[in-house]
Amino acid sequence: MKKTIITWVNRLTTVLFILFIVIMSTLIISNKLTNQEAGIFGYQLKNVLSGSMEPTIQTGSIIAIEVLDQKERKKLQKGDVITFLNKDNQLITHRIEKVKNANNHVAFVTKGDNNDTADLEPILSSNVVGKYGGFTIPYLGYLIHYAQTPNGILLLTIFPGISLLAYSAFSIWRTLKNLDNHPKDSIEEK
């Protein structure tokens, strides 16, 4: 019974280890190739590395934003939380405080929930990337951000891969050793 439990724990650990490597590798490669955050079912995952939206969104969280087309961007309202590109091409997630319509253009005055004042410049609807829908995974953003650094790539993909290869080699060696220790069945000639 004990050997069966150890075998199942061993198999489960191996499967989880492989899944971890595949997921981390996919996220890292996807981010590097597209120069964007990972996306799932029309949503993009974004790292939140500042505290401007606390307590709504914790620092270090991963959030899912729904990517919007130009028509949907113009329908955004006061109170919506949006992710947009500022004039320095940085992604920022803040809440819409005011909607301005002028000459068939829509602009938004935004403010972080944790900030004292609104952002200095209104955001054009064309600079809006998406709308936050409430899905958050706290602290995972730190891990994803770290995974994109050279040390993170080494620690979270290469090291587990080498460890998995070493574990596989050990398992094969142990199996071969067990086969050598069992007496061979004698073959009777008739």
Given this model, what pLDDT does residue 161 score? 76
Total count of residues recorded for the chain: 190
The helix/strand/coil state of 101 is strand
DSSP SS3 for 170: helix
Catalytic residue among 25, 30, 50, 168: 50
At 176, list the tokens. Answer: 């071969």
- Per-residue confidence (pLDDT) for residue 81, from 0 to 100: 94
Structure tokens, 150: 């050279």
Is 171 noted as a catalytic residue in this protein? no
Asked whether residue 153 carries a pLDDT value surpassing 80, the answer given is no
Nearest to 136 by CA among 53, 80, 76, 77: 53
Q: What is the pLDDT of residues 80-110, one digit of tens each?
A: 999 999 888 888 999 999 999 877 789 999 9
Q: Nearest to residue 145, comparing CAs of 135, 157, 153?
A: 153
Secondary structure of residue 57 in the 3-state scheme: coil
* Burial classification of residue 131, based on how many CB atoms lie within 10 Å of its CB (0-12 exposed, 13-18 middle, 19 or more buried): buried
Kindly indicate the confidence band of residue 43, based on its pLDDT and cuts at 50, 70 and 90: confident
Per-position b or e across 34-62, b if 16+ CB within 10 A of its CB: eeebbeeeebbbbbbeeebbeebbbbbbb
Domain residue spans in the chain?
2-159
More confident residue, 149 or 2: 149
Q: How far apart are CA 177 and CA 173, in angstroms?
A: 6
The CATH number corresponding to 2-159 among 3.30.70.2700, 3.40.50.850, 2.60.40.420, 2.10.109.10 equals: 2.10.109.10
- Picking from 57, 76, 78, the residue whose alpha carbon sits closest to that of residue 68 is 76
